[in-house]
Amino acid sequence: MKKISKKTLLDTATHLMFEINEEQLNILVQEYEDIFHAFEEIKNLPEVDQLKPMFFPYSLFGELREDIPEQTLTQEEILNNAPKKKGGQIVLPKVVK
């Protein structure tokens, strides 16, 4: 089973600008170990290597409804609610460094 170290998780949290304490770090390490253990159990299932790859775990057959045109807000109405706007677009604060 693959192991993940506290240092690896702490470095990752630091890069993502997360603050994490020792208790949270211990919980996270345990959760990763549980996930890796679950994958090992899946790999050990009989005939799992003979299954075809799937994009979704089960088939969905939903009924499609007819599109009904509805009145929506105009660009002007939307921009009236925006705190900052520029060139007909809403200006948002930068969140990624």
Under a CB-based contact definition with an 8 Å cutoff, are residues 30 and 3 in contact?
no
pLDDT along the chain (97 residues), means of 10: 84 92 94 92 83 79 85 92 93 86
How far apart, in whole angstroms, are the C-alpha atoms of residue 67 and residue 1?
50
Q: Domain segments of the chain: what residues?
A: 6-50
The Cα–Cα gap between 46 and 94 comes to: 49
Which pLDDT score, from 0 to 100, does residue 1 have? 59
pLDDT at 96: 81
| The pLDDT value given to residue 24 | 94
What is the pLDDT, as a whole number, of residue 70?
Answer: 92
Which is nearest to 57 in space by CA: 68, 70, 42, 69?
42
Angle between helices 22-43 and 6-15 (to 10 degrees): 110
